[in-house]
């Protein structure tokens, strides 16, 4: 003969509720895992932006150094040119000097713009993780 036992249905209902809760928690864990992977991907993007920013800054610094060398060479050429031409070409020399001074002012303006650009890029980089984390 088979034995039968009476089990209160309240316990079975409690177990069923616990199983439902566990089933509801599992998708939330997947969402958390997805969120963590998104944060990791965001951090990789930020790291790449920082690397690119530093590379751009280094290239711009080398460019500014090259421009400085060019300006000094132009100044040397101008001084040699003044000696060679004498007073006959003084008007032409003045034009060249004006162009040289314009080049210097353009270079200074470029350096200021680069500094502003660097500040803006750094500010954007600092703000980027906060925006993604809030989503």
6 located within any domain: no
- pTM above 0.75? no
Q: Is residue 124 part of a domain?
A: yes
3-state secondary structure (DSSP) of residue 99: helix
Rounded Cα–Cα distance for residues 108 and 104 (Å): 6
The pLDDT tens digits for 55-70 are 888 888 888 888 888 8
4 within a domain of the structure (yes/no): no
Query: What's the chain's average pLDDT?
Result: 77
Q: How confident is the model at residue 91 (pLDDT cuts 50, 70, 90)?
A: confident
User: Which domain, by its residues, includes 47?
Assistant: 14-134
* Overall number of domains in the chain: 1
pLDDT at 30 > cutoff 50:
yes
The answer to whether residue 28 sits within a structural domain is yes
Residue 91 lies in a domain: yes
In a domain, 5, yes or no: no
Does residue 3 lie in a domain region? Answer: no
Distances (CA, A) of 27 to 23, 34, 129: 7, 10, 25
Residue 63 is assigned to a structural domain of this protein: yes
């Amino acid at each position: 003969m088979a034995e039968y036992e009476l089990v209160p249905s309240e316990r079975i209902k409690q177990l069923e509720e616990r199983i439902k809760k566990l089933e509801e928690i599992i998708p939330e864990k997947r969402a958390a895992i997805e969120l963590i992977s998104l944060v990791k991907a965001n951090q990789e993007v930020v790291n790449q932006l920082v690397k690119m920013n530093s590379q751009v800054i280094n290239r711009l610094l080398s460019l500014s150094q090259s421009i400085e060398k060019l300006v000094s060479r132009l100044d040397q050429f101008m001084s040699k040119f003044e000696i060679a031409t004498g007073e006959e070409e003084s008007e032409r020399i003045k034009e060249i000097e004006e162009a040289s001074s314009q080049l210097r002012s353009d270079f200074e303006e470029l350096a200021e713009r680069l500094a502003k650009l660097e500040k803006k890029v750094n500010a954007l980089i600092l703000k980027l993780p906060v925006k993604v984390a809030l989503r």
